[in-house]
Chain A
Amino acid sequence: MQAPSQAPAASTTAPPGAPVVALRGVTKRFPGVVANDNVTIEIHAGEVHVLLGENGAGKSTLVGMLSGLQQPDEGGIEVDGRPTLVGSPRQALSIGIGTVFQHSMLVPSLSVIDNFALGGAWWKTPDRKGIAAAIRETAGRLGLRVDPHALVSSLSLGERQQVEILRALMRGSRCLILDEATAMLTPHEAVALGELMRRLVAQGIAVIFITHKLNEAVAYGDRISVLRLGRNVGEIAPETLRASSDAENTETIISLMFGTAAGEGAVGGARAARSHGDVVLEVAGLCSDAGRVPVRDIDLTVRSGEILGVAGIDGNGQKELAEVLAGQMPRSSGSIRLMGQELGDATVGQRRAGGLRYVTDDRLGEGTVGTFPVATNFLLKDIGAAPYWRRGIERPEEIRRQAETHVRDFDIRTPGTQTPVGKLSGGNIQKVLLAREMTGSAEVVIFAKPTYGLDVNNIRATRKRIVEAADAGKAVVLISTDLDELLELSDRIAVIDRGRIRGTVVNGEGARDAIGRLMSAGDEQ
């Protein structure tokens, strides 16, 4: 951990009102993933600074570094313009950075007062009266009503959050981080939190508000930084934010989040033309209420040799769509035809046998079993199938041979076919999934965020595989939250929003703008 060796250019031109806290060129890597890549962000007193990004954009890692849970690999953190090492959560508190995490850090069985007294010296009886008075005073100053004697378990989630904000302030925080603060709140409580944030900044506190909801960012933020794939892809300054309408701001943010504003428009030429064959997958009027986001009236057709992209902000029904197609989640109505045959309520196994494959984005959560050998993970969806089993009895020779072929063909870096798959890097685990889903009788392959969390080399290798699959005549459904990826690979791109397909765009000249329009049209209201 060292301070940046050369002063960054930004700090030489001191803006009016120097930042309280600043991240300077921060990079943080985890095995197989670059969580933050050269991120520079300045936090000013008296401003709500929104950090906006999808899941996996690197927001949590930034919070972890600011709150002392993790240390940056490169770059550093400045407090009041001085390079500062934030080595532990205690140290973060002592320099005035307080964090309110998404999940409550209060002890439910203790009263509010006792929760505040927790950090005190163990040999002293906490001064409960003094603490109660201080709580009332601070709460009153912010217009909050908190009963210091109440048990935390009797408080609503919104009230618990207020208590945590109070606690952070009473420990002397000048910079308050609210991590996904509205995720657990009711809409009413979320509005109250927004108002509270306005009062906090009015008192000169710097607030960092982390969210992936655009409307909240626009409603409560003074300054918005957008993170995408670990990089800070743009910032909207207070002046711009105030000068534009909410709709304009939303559009700007969407273009930042998806790279619709990126300069390189001539992506269309990068794709080699492929001839498309017959319709392989035909989805009509598909609905499902089984998932977190209901899926409604989905109509899609994919021809052999065609890549159909599905664009949208994460959590708008993409996962549900993929799982209903794969048979993991029941549909409530509509039809799915695979090469003309109605799938109906066919099981996962029947669909797989028919040539429908699904590469999940949750590689370790559901795609593989980390403790099982690589060779076994190749066969998780074919347990009992010939030639790997005969009359239910395993044939290790056949299993080993298949594993060695896959390891060679898909360039999987593993010490051996018997190594537990959980010991491999993220990129190699993805290759294991690709090998399992793209070989054999595959006709349609659904990819869910196939390059999510991978490093550059593995992203390139994975995209190449997808193109190869289409070249070989397979129909490909590519679900992605990375517009550049979709524009690079897809023939057509459907835009999904809140469980509905808002429109489909043929990839080519002007596709980027058309998709951007479909996305922001869906996001109004």
Chain B
Amino acid sequence: MTDEQTIPAAGAGGRAAANAGLQASLRVLAVSVGPLVAALVLGGLLLLAMGFNPFSYYGYVIQRALFSPSGFEATLTRMGPLLLIAASLIVAFRAGLWNLGGDGQYLLAAVFVAATVPLTLGVLPVWANLLLGLLIGAAVGALWSLLPALLKAWQGINEIITTLMMSFLGVSLANVLVKLAFLDPGTTTPQTRTLPVEARLPRLFDSSVSSGLLIGLAAVIVVHLVMTRTAFGMRLRLVGANPRAAVHAGLSVPALTIAVFAISAALAGLSGAVDILGTHGNVRADWNPAYSLTVVPLVFLARLNGFGSIAYVFLFSALTIGGESAARRIGVPSFFSLVIVAILLIMLGLAEYLDKRHQERARR
């Protein structure tokens, strides 16, 4: 029992604990910012190898995405749906469930919202119409996760497989619906009816930023607080961390599983609704931004922390908006922003490994 002798009883060294706390937070900072710097440097080397000037690329991306008014507003607007996806993933992952079907839930919700909201526009006032759109989005998303949720809750069938399969089905079904059932009779291009600009989510102040950003921010923060501060969140985390302990503590794991799926998929559906109601106004055939699978690495980079996710989503949003401009101007492919995210993930894994090794050495 050597470790018992060296560990002081609790409360003995409050000062030392505070000091250790500071060190710990410094280390967390190094572990989370260090990989970012490394990823940008490696990405720069990659650009160099491709024959581009990394400084002019990064400079252009930053200039376009952050310092040009229209670009910055686009960056913020894009964050709305991404943040809702992040909230959806945080709920599921913290509860130990891999809802990887966000893309299907998002797109189906988007298609149903795009198909119904223009029709009810004349009947309902604008605000009620928007509210209806958000509700439809959340409901459709949640509905599309019902099958994986029931299979997981009752039979323990791996939700990674079922949600991914339902996602493929959902994306295909969404396309079929756009091309056949929800086709706008007024145009020749295969797309749904378009929601007039004045009937979309209101813009913030005098900018072009959609209020979808506020919905996204609110969702992430609420999810974060629910997961960390409430009894419901603790139940979900308990199921996620150790399902057998949850049974031992008397929780109904199947009921919680279904609840998690419903919340997570509803948030993914809400993301689709916000994207349609705030930005696009309609869904064109074969359109699939595949936000869900791109946000998965971001929430992991943020270690499922809501506020960290906001930072990473902002970074990613800026990278894609700037990257899309840079693609047109400099010729660097627009998917290069995904390359940066991928390098970032690898760097993060490496940092975590080094950190763990460092800690083990310190313990000896």
- A residues near B (Cβ < 8 Å) are 31-32, 327-328, 347-349, 352, 360, 362, 365-372, 376, 380-381, 383-384, 389, 392-394, 404, 407-408, 412-417, 425, 427-428, 455, 457
- B237 contacts across to A, CB distance below 8 A: 372
Give per-residue flags for B77-112: 1 if the beta carbon is below 8 A from chain A beta carbons, else 0. Answer: 000000000000000000000000000000000000
For A455, the closest partner residue in chain B by CB is: B1
**In the assembly, what is the distance between CA of A366 and CA of B7, in Å?**
26
**In the assembly, what is the distance between CA of A371 and CA of B304, in Å?**
15
Q: Known interface pairs A365-B244, A384-B231, A393-B229. Does A415 touch B249 (Cβ–Cβ under 8 Å)?
A: no
Besides the known contacts A376-B234, A416-B11, 13 further A-B residue pairs in the complex with CB atoms under 8 A apart: A31-B3, A352-B250, A381-B248, A381-B249, A383-B231, A383-B234, A383-B235, A383-B249, A384-B232, A389-B231, A392-B232, A414-B7, A415-B10
- Whether A427 contacts B10 by the Cβ 8 Å rule is no
- B residues near A (Cβ < 8 Å) are 1, 3-4, 7-11, 17, 229-232, 234-235, 237-238, 241-242, 244-245, 247-251
**In the assembly, what is the distance between CA of A383 and CA of B230, in Å?**
9
For A365, the closest partner residue in chain B by CB is: B244
For A436, the closest partner residue in chain B by CB is: B249
* Total A-B residue contacts, Cβ distance less than 8 Å: 89
| Contact among A384, A389, A392, A414 with B10 in the assembled complex (CB-CB below 8 Å) | A414
Q: Is the interface of A mostly helix, strand, loop or mixed?
A: loop
Closest CB-CB distance, A494 to chain B, in whole Å? Answer: 24
Closest CB-CB distance, B10 to chain A, in whole Å? Answer: 5
- Whether A366 contacts B8 by the Cβ 8 Å rule is no
- Whether B8 contacts A415 by the Cβ 8 Å rule is yes
Closest CB-CB distance, B142 to chain A, in whole Å? Answer: 21
Q: Max chain B CB contacts within 10 Å: which of A362, A394, A417?
A: A394
Q: Known interface pairs A389-B231, A392-B230, A415-B7. Does A383 touch B238 (Cβ–Cβ under 8 Å)?
A: yes
**In the assembly, what is the distance between CA of A242 and CA of B244, in Å?**
46
- Whether A366 contacts B244 by the Cβ 8 Å rule is yes
- Whether B11 contacts A366 by the Cβ 8 Å rule is no
**In the assembly, what is the distance between CA of A347 and CA of B251, in Å?**
9
- B8 contacts across to A, CB distance below 8 A: 415
Closest CB-CB distance, B144 to chain A, in whole Å? Answer: 28
- B230 contacts across to A, CB distance below 8 A: 389, 392-394
Closest CB-CB distance, A417 to chain B, in whole Å? Answer: 6
**In the assembly, what is the distance between CA of A153 and CA of B7, in Å?**
50
**In the assembly, what is the distance between CA of A360 and CA of B247, in Å?**
12
- A404 contacts across to B, CB distance below 8 A: 10-11
| Contact among A371, A417, A425 with B3 in the assembled complex (CB-CB below 8 Å) | A425
- Whether A394 contacts B4 by the Cβ 8 Å rule is no
- Whether B238 contacts A369 by the Cβ 8 Å rule is yes
Q: Known interface pairs A366-B245, A404-B10, A413-B9. Does A425 touch B4 (Cβ–Cβ under 8 Å)?
A: yes
- Whether B232 contacts A348 by the Cβ 8 Å rule is no
- B248 contacts across to A, CB distance below 8 A: 328, 348, 360, 366-367, 380-381
**22 intermolecular pairs with C-beta atoms under 8 Å apart:** A31-B3, A327-B250, A328-B250, A347-B250, A352-B250, A362-B244, A366-B244, A367-B248, A368-B245, A383-B235, A383-B238, A392-B231, A393-B229, A393-B231, A394-B231, A414-B7, A414-B10, A415-B7, A415-B8, A417-B10, A428-B4, A455-B1
